[in-house]
Amino acid sequence: MSAYESTRVPVADGMRAIAISIIALYHFWQQSWLDMTIRIGGVRLTLLPMLRTGYIMVDMMLMLSAFLLYLPFARARRAGVAVPRTRSFYIKRAIRILPGYIFAVAAPLFMFCIPSGEFTSVRDVLSEVIPYLTFTQTLVPSVYQASRLNAVLWTVGIEVQAYLLFPFAAKAFDRKPITTYVSLLLGGAAYRLAICKTLPDLTLWINQLPSFLDVYANGMLAAWLFAKWESRESARFDRTIQTACTIGACACLFAVWRIICWQSDISWQRDGLHMGQAIIRFPLTALGGAWLLLASRSFRGFQAIFSNRVASWFAGISYALYIWHQLLAVKLRETWRFPPYRAAENPQFVAEQPWQWQYMIVCAAASVMAAALVTYIIERPSVKLLRSFERVGT
């Protein structure tokens, strides 16, 4: 792989690992209702705002995806070489996404849903499976809002829809970056404004692809600026710049925390959750893009927090972790009742201890173990095999 084709940005591993962890904790918390609040003297420390709003980290993951997808295009442009071909882009994305995705659809179907009688006929099975296999589950209300297979896969559906358009958006960004950025930004904002003004219930509409246009735009702009800054580098960054970037990166983290707290507060209001998402989607991901740029030029010690072997390994299993953690969390509580609890059902409603803590720990351990197994036994061998076929075909 040539240098311009690389998508390696060390601090991105840390961003991916943290975002996935917050999303997973949110889904575990949905099942446990654990109050992760402590008091030290007169100081109250709580993670509840983060647990209640972990879903917003999906936006950050999509921004990061756009950043990494566009980076080879931006680097090629700066190097004066040909940008990645559209056909090659589609093949690489399919090889990366499909093995794990198909397994995440098929395994719940044949291991849980059919044996338990959740589907009553072949037609019933097809009505659920076809939207998954065509990545259109967000367009089918019964599947998106009440999935019987794997609820979190709607995000992969959005990603694949974006993949289809991405090479064309990338070419437009190459030619007119500012115009393309502003167009995508206005498109996403206009869509969210329109649905907020005209629809009484945003559940089906807030997570459609047009709602993420400015999210993808923020990722692409960050990659464009990263490549521009990178091309001037050999240019060593002095301590003044590193200090400023480190302070700026910390300021971004603080601003993200304030957004999390605001979203947590507004979520209690009527329609506040989705309205809040519509409002924060752009600033949250703009801060994420800025953090990538600043953290990449910060002091090495600061970078090491987000760029290390643990973060790299965690990022490597993040795709499988994302698509399996929520299903496992639900099965552990509802089906397998593990860890055991005293309540007849729904132990979270009575804040049963020590079950809440035990459950959170078991969910985390089981999800990481399952993700590692799927990554090393299913995903990577499949990707290696498909890449060998690609080389033969080429």
Contact criterion met (CB below 8 Å) for 32 and 356:
yes
Identify the CA nearest to 372 among candidates 314, 333, 327, 323.
314
User: From the centroid of its chain, how far is CA 100?
Assistant: 15
Contact criterion met (CB below 8 Å) for 381 and 103:
no
Give the residue extent of every domain in the chain.
3-21+39-301
Beta-bridged to residue 37, according to DSSP, are 46
Identify the CA nearest to 393 among candidates 94, 68, 168.
94
Q: What would the two tokens of residue 371 be?
A: 């993700």
Cα–Cα distance measured from residue 190 to residue 366, given in angstroms and rounded to the nearest whole number: 41
Task: Provide the residue type at 214 as one letter.
Answer: D
Cα–Cα distance measured from residue 186 to residue 166, given in angstroms and rounded to the nearest whole number: 17
- Please report, in tens digits, the pLDDT of each residue of the chain (394 residues total): 445 555 679 999 999 999 999 999 999 999 999 998 888 877 888 999 999 999 999 999 999 999 999 999 999 988 888 888 999 999 999 999 999 999 999 999 999 999 999 999 999 999 999 999 999 999 999 999 999 999 999 999 999 999 999 999 999 999 999 999 999 999 999 999 999 999 999 999 999 999 999 999 999 999 999 999 886 654 456 889 999 999 999 999 999 999 999 999 999 887 899 999 999 999 999 999 999 999 999 999 999 999 999 999 999 999 999 999 999 999 999 999 999 999 999 999 999 999 999 999 999 999 999 999 999 999 999 999 988 876 665 5
User: Which contiguous run of DSSP H or E holds residue 43?
Assistant: strand 43-46
DSSP 326-340: HHHHHIIIIIS--S-
Contact criterion met (CB below 8 Å) for 71 and 227:
yes
Task: Provide the residue type at 209 as one letter.
Answer: L
Q: Which residues contact 29 (CB under 8 A, 6 or more apart)?
A: 51, 52, 54, 360
